[in-house]
Copies of this chain bind each other. A is one copy, B any other.
């Protein structure tokens, strides 16, 4: 059973994940593996996707009615960081150290059945299906009263932490609100109290006015590189309209979001030779519908620079490419719907 531990000094949360337990030799072995070592005939996700959808299953992915095949597929992670069949309990060690039981959920989303398809290659309809599948996870985990937060993320390529090469995203449902979200919520709330405006809406307004960090826009979605970008070519994807969570986001916005994905991941692939990346969905917590001060967004970080001693020791990031320069490079001049 996993344990969610809290550091008594920095208050950092850590999931000590026994299901994923490794011995020293596993770490040194893993580093010798090939990036594309996973062949599609041996891919466990391809195998799972070949099993046809069962009837009346609202939570396991999107299926085509026509031929009863999966379009996207949701599976429990075989080595879950958190598990649902555990009861929520607190533990204390020596009156000083505190932990929670590792209750929660950890899912894999097959973003496509095509083993080698990248986001830049996907059709808009497939991207849309992927985003709709993301949305279902919030509806699913809302049914579990122990869960406070659902974080959806995608690790692409081994250098970005992916251990499977099949196109996939991940979902971690946790009993705690993650600290990075908590801090955003706290600051956004403070800003709202003072200015009666969502801080993200303000940021969108500023970026649309200043234009120096703007990368792309369509009727619902904006892409820009944030002012204090931690990583080279870090970008934010955000709905222009105030929306706190993916649950309350309509189909039209998701359609425009799929177009924004197509644009950004094609540009990243072109400009940076199909780089490894992570992206993370930041949404409001499950039990707080319609927040006026929080605004969902997606943080995309190509893995080009290595966070090292200074970043880990200080919490300060050193970014050798200014967001203005990154935006200039990612903007596509000939594209009608682009920002310029």
Contacts and interface: CB of A to CB of B under 8 A. Distances in A.
A101 interface: no
B181 A314 contact: yes
A228 B6 contact: yes
Interface size grouping (class) on chain A? 35 or more
Interface string A1-24: 000111111111111111011101
Contact of A210 (B24, B93, B301): B93
Contacts of A6: 228
Contacts of A167: none
Given A9-B199, A228-B5, A309-B280, A28 B183 contact: no
Contacts of A154: 309
Contacts of A310: 81, 151, 153, 170, 172, 280
A313 B206 contact: no
A9 to B, nearest CB: 5
Given A184-B10, A313-B180, A320 B160 contact: no
A209 interface: yes
Given A228-B5, A318-B17, A11 B183 contact: yes
A316 B161 contact: no
Contact of A308 (B161, B299, B320): B161
A321 to B, nearest CB: 6
A53 interface: no
Contact of A15 (B93, B183, B280, B316): B316
A7 B231 CA distance: 13
B316 A178 contact: yes
Given A161-B308, A232-B27, A299 B313 contact: yes
Q: How many copies of this chain sit in the oligomeric assembly? A: 2
Given A15-B319, A320-B20, A206 B160 contact: no
Interface stretch (A138-146, A216-224, A270-278): A270-278
Main secondary structure, interface of A, reads mixed
A273 B210 CA distance: 51
A93 B227 contact: yes
Q: Which of A5, A316, A322 has the most CB of B within 10 A?
A: A316
Contacts of A241: none
Nearest to A200: B9
Contact of A18 (B5, B161, B322): B322
Given A161-B309, A313-B178, A314-B181, A227 B10 contact: no
A187 B10 CA distance: 7
Interface of A: 4-18, 20-22, 24, 27-28, 31, 81, 93-94, 96-97, 151, 153-155, 159-162, 170, 172, 174, 176, 178-181, 183-184, 187-188, 199-200, 202-203, 206, 209-210, 226-230, 232-233, 271-273, 275, 278-282, 299, 301, 304-310, 312-323, 325, 329
Nearest 6 CB-CB pairings of A with B: A161-B308, A280-B313, A153-B309, A178-B314, A7-B228, A180-B315
